[in-house]
Structure 1
Amino acid sequence: MNAFDVLIVGGGPIGIACALEAKKAGLSYIVIEKGCIVNSLYNYPLYMTFFSTSERLEIGNIPFVSINPKPTRPEALEYYRRVAGSNHINLKLFEEVRNINPNAGEYIVHTSKSTYHARHIILATGFYDIPNLLQIPGEDLPKVTHYYKDPHFYADQDVVVIGANNSAVDAALETYRKGARVTMVIRETEIGKRVKYWVKPDIENRIKEGSIKAYFNSQISLIEEDSVIINTPDGSITIPNDFVIAMTGYQPNFSLLQQAGIILSDDGMKVPAYDPVTMETNMPHIYLAGVVCGGMNTHVWFIENSREHAGKIITHIKGNA
């Protein structure tokens, strides 16, 4: 029988950190990941540079050596893959957790491939897999994406980028530099304050000089095959369009949390109930780790400030063993 002390849902950096702590504590464990190793990081833009320095992305006290102080996506993928591989992490990839049910003092976990029994569950599922939709006509057209990877694809095309934070700014600048005709549509009055400090002047200057067109205090109301309609403070306008890159943010898998019995706040932020000291939720022996702790507020937790969740959780599990 597939029975473990700890079952970890999510094979991202924090899920791997939890596995390292469980292994060090002598607990039997398994990590279930619906995609590849650090699947969210794999889906980041190809040329992304992290805001954090490499030492702040380290897990398990294993050094992360990068060429530059701020590592790139390929360096992070290499680091976490090597950490998982060299430590022989018990990791099941491309296997999705479908439901988690209590049963006689333990939990039964059904996945897309198997069934597991575990005394403790750690949910380290992140937030990058479910985009916040625009809820407008035309959003389901093939030309619309909520994930941006490579700027080359958009060369010599009319591209609309929705959003004003790091993902949107990176997409706008990179596609512009590959020859796209870029228009940004931004609900706020300015570029986001969280944009990386070495990038913010670049996008502001490109907008100021007119190389990138930006409509502030504006929203798209309709996406059509060859155009989009934008509601601006000066009225509705229609512009030519080949592709829409909607960097509108993402959200955790709330349905899995609720199915497991975890209470979410009713203030619209859907923050899961958990003890910040132990990371245990309202469901006994189910813990949260990483970005999922913030609910819809996905700008609270990052790798660097949620690495400590792993130690808190395993310490609590060992104390109750």
Structure 2
Amino acid sequence: MALQESRAAGIGEPISLHPVVDPLRCCGSGSCVKACPEGAFGIIDGKAHLVNPSVCIGHGACVASCPFEAIKLVFGTEKRGVDIPLVKPNFETNIPGLFIAGELGGMGLVRKAAEQGRQAMNAIRDTLKGNGGTDVDVLIVGAGPAGIAAGLGAIQHKLSYRIVEQEDSLGGTVYHYPRNKIIMTAPVQLPIVGKVKMSEISKEALLEFWNGIVGKTGLTISFRERMESIQPNGKGFQIKTSGGEYSARAVLLAIGRRGTPRKLDVPGEDLPKVVYRLIDAEQYRGQKVLVVGGGDSALEAALAIADEPGTEVSLSYRSDAFGRVKVKNRQRLEDAQKQGRINVLLKSNVLRIEPGEVLLELESGHTTLPNDAVIISAGGVLPIDLLKKVGIQFETKHGTE
């Protein structure tokens, strides 16, 4: 039933790193079903299947739980390829001095991403000789597990560094997980800190752990600073960010595959009340909120906020129907709409955002909504095109490791 619902909703294709089951090895034990906290697995005709691909985040708990090694993690599918950058065993790309570690390189697992960050910084140390005459020895882009581990490695190796992170908090992809989400990981080996034992841990506890590491080690991170371009300059690289320009002898890209949030490019989008994700629905109690987008994340944000006391929620989407969403989300939205808890505005576009209101364009004309907050959930712009312009080579995976 879950698999049929996913296919009917047009979300039968997994997003990134995901498991595939070898039916000849699978005995239908159900260990993967029990091990997956996302509920992505089910048993069909005595064999394990990925029945809810859209919720799979590729943490690999299913692989570890299978007693017959019938599951492996792969990228892409026969229908949808995934571009993965080509890197050497030391995580260096085809461009000397430019390294990639973590989710962008295909590794979203917390422990392995951190390990890649540590090893990549070891490799960078080995390639840097003498004084390069740049602002920093290494510029690290991203403050998830790979970026944090790499930063600790830079401190350990006495390299000058700068970490830039486009979000306002560390954690990388983990930062975007829902509240109290249980994350599967394993003991992590970190420079300076040593071995840290972890198994099942909530999102909040993991972020608290990373913040504690930063506080104890003095790791410096520049938040709300987005990478915009990278250019070789003879001594290394010239990097332009939203906060300035820097020269570095080496660059480590430890960024996720979520990309930069897609913006509407309308007047007023830079107001403080505009955000690109829902972190905590409680903060919107008693407020008039506009959610923009037509995917599951937009629907789930609108529904969560509508559950808070005193909220008035509107959902704006440019198309005439919510096509690629889970059946349960569509049903919940229809119920909320009938109950008058969410005002759904299909075939609508935001024209202007002002401190106390939002102007929208509808089929019938323009309308103005009183507004306290706007959440834009329109997906992300992946950094792949930017990296290809630099000259980084990619390969397209179609269901392969």
TM superposition score normalised by structure 2: 0.46
1:215-235 deviations in whole A, cap 9, x for unaligned?
233323454644533414xx2
**Is the contact made by 1:11 and 1:91 (CA closer than 8 Å) also made in structure 2?**
no
Match of 2:147 among 15, 18, 24: 15
**Is 2:362 the counterpart of 1:231?**
yes
2:122 corresponds in structure 1 to none
Residue identity opposite 1:134 in structure 2: L
> 1:131 Cα deviation (Å)?
3.9
TM superposition score normalised by structure 1: 0.55
CA distance in 2, matches of 1:108, 1:135: 27
**Is 2:150 the counterpart of 1:32?**
no
Residue identity opposite 2:199 in structure 1: V
**Is the contact made by 2:143 and 2:164 (CA closer than 8 Å) also made in structure 1?**
yes
> 1:169 Cα deviation (Å)?
2.6
2:220 corresponds in structure 1 to 92
Relative contact order (C-alpha < 8 Å, sep 6+): which is higher?
1
Paired positions, count: 255
Residue identity opposite 2:164 in structure 1: E
Match of 1:177 among 298, 307, 310: 307
**Is 2:371 the counterpart of 1:242?**
yes
**Is 2:393 the counterpart of 1:275?**
yes
CA distance in 2, matches of 1:165, 1:63: 36
> 1:184 Cα deviation (Å)?
0.8
Backbone CA RMSD of aligned residues: 5.0
Q: 1:20 to 1:57 in 2, by over 3 A?
A: farther
SS at match of 1:92: coil
1:189-238 deviations in whole A, cap 9, x for unaligned?
4446366x876654343235442221233323454644533414xx2352
1:65 corresponds in structure 2 to 199
Residue identity opposite 1:242 in structure 2: N
CA distance in 1, matches of 2:357, 2:245: 45
1:78 corresponds in structure 2 to 208
Match of 1:122 among 252, 262, 286: 252
Residue identity opposite 2:317 in structure 1: I
Give aligned-pair identity as a percent: 25
Q: 1:59 to 1:216 in 2, by over 3 A?
A: farther
> 1:162 Cα deviation (Å)?
0.8
**Is the contact made by 1:12 and 1:37 (CA closer than 8 Å) also made in structure 2?**
no
Q: 1:56 to 1:231 in 2, by over 3 A?
A: farther
1:123-172 deviations in whole A, cap 9, x for unaligned?
22447785433234554556544454443443333322111234423331
1:283 corresponds in structure 2 to none
CA distance in 1, matches of 2:187, 2:160: 21
2:318 corresponds in structure 1 to 187
Residue identity opposite 2:359 in structure 1: V
CA distance in 2, matches of 1:192, 1:27: 52
Point out where structure 1 has 5 or more consecutive residues left out of the alignment. Answer: 265-271, 278-293, 295-299, 301-307, 309-321
The structure whose residues are more often strand, as a share, is: 2
**Is the contact made by 2:187 and 2:199 (CA closer than 8 Å) also made in structure 1?**
no
Residue identity opposite 2:362 in structure 1: N
> 1:93 Cα deviation (Å)?
1.4
CA distance in 2, matches of 1:99, 1:186: 31
Q: 1:78 to 1:155 in 2, by over 3 A?
A: closer
> 1:11 Cα deviation (Å)?
1.7
> 1:82 Cα deviation (Å)?
5.6
Counterparts of residues 189-204 of structure 1 (less than 5 Å): 189-191=320-322, 193=324, 201-204=331-334
Counterparts of residues 93-108 of structure 1 (less than 5 Å): 93-94=221-222, 102-104=232-234, 106-107=236-237
1:76-129 deviations in whole A, cap 9, x for unaligned?
31344467678x6x94312757875535564466887996643x4222244778
SS at match of 2:222: coil
2:262 corresponds in structure 1 to 132
**Is 2:362 the counterpart of 1:218?**
no
Point out where structure 2 has 5 or more consecutive residues left out of the alignment. Answer: 1-130, 190-194
CA distance in 2, matches of 1:173, 1:27: 49
**Is the contact made by 1:55 and 1:63 (CA closer than 8 Å) also made in structure 2?**
no
SS at match of 2:184: helix
SS at match of 2:291: strand
Counterparts of residues 293-308 of structure 1 (less than 5 Å): none
